[in-house]
Amino acid sequence: MEKPTTVHRVTKILVDIMFYGGIAVCIALPFVLPAVMRFFEHPPEMRIPYTIILLASGIPAVYIVYQLKQIFKTLLGGNPFVSRNISCLRKSAVACALIALVYLVRITFWFTVGSLVVVVIFALLCLFALTLKDVFKQAVAYKEETDWTV
């Protein structure tokens, strides 16, 4: 197997920062959002809907990063083509679909071009993760087959 490179390690550090930063943002959101809304002059009655939307999309986003952390463990270990990564990619696809759904529901109440872009991006990410899952599934099958032939 190939030795982990500096790029792999730096990427893993960035994924860790995003994971722990995402957790911190999700925890701090209900407390920080009112001040941010006052600064941008948003009506106070929108605090609860904004909090719900941001948490309903933020938690799956943190979950996606967690799945990436799991994949990076196997990558740095030198064996990325394992069944666990197939499961991680499937779970990431579901989380992407959930984020797209949250913003699709948001569009029905408050249409913005930004929300439409989020829906399209996360729907595409869902399809990408499902495709990559199938690629990994095939690679795992080939790997297991070659492991049995000596």
Give the model confidence (pLDDT) of 40-55 as tens digits. Answer: 999 999 999 999 999 9
Asked if residue 63 belongs to a domain, the reply is: yes
pLDDT at 148 over 90: no
pLDDT at 1 over 60: no
Percent of the chain whose predicted confidence (pLDDT) is above 70: 97
Asked if residue 77 belongs to a domain, the reply is: yes
Asked if residue 1 belongs to a domain, the reply is: no
Asked if residue 70 belongs to a domain, the reply is: yes
Average pLDDT score over residue span 120-125? 98
Residue 9 has a pLDDT of: 81
- Domains in the chain, number: 1
Q: 92: buried, middle or exposed (CB in 10 Å: 19+, 13-18, 0-12)?
A: buried
Range(s) of the domain holding residue 129: 6-148
Percent of the chain whose predicted confidence (pLDDT) is above 90: 79
The residue with greater pLDDT, 74 or 122, is: 122
Note the pLDDT tens digit of each residue in 64-112. Answer: 999 999 998 988 888 889 999 999 999 999 999 999 999 999 999 999 9
pLDDT at 114 over 80: yes
pLDDT at 146 over 90: no
Asked if residue 44 belongs to a domain, the reply is: yes
Residue 8 has a pLDDT of: 80
Asked if residue 109 belongs to a domain, the reply is: yes
Q: Are 52 and 16 in contact (CB under 8 A)?
A: no
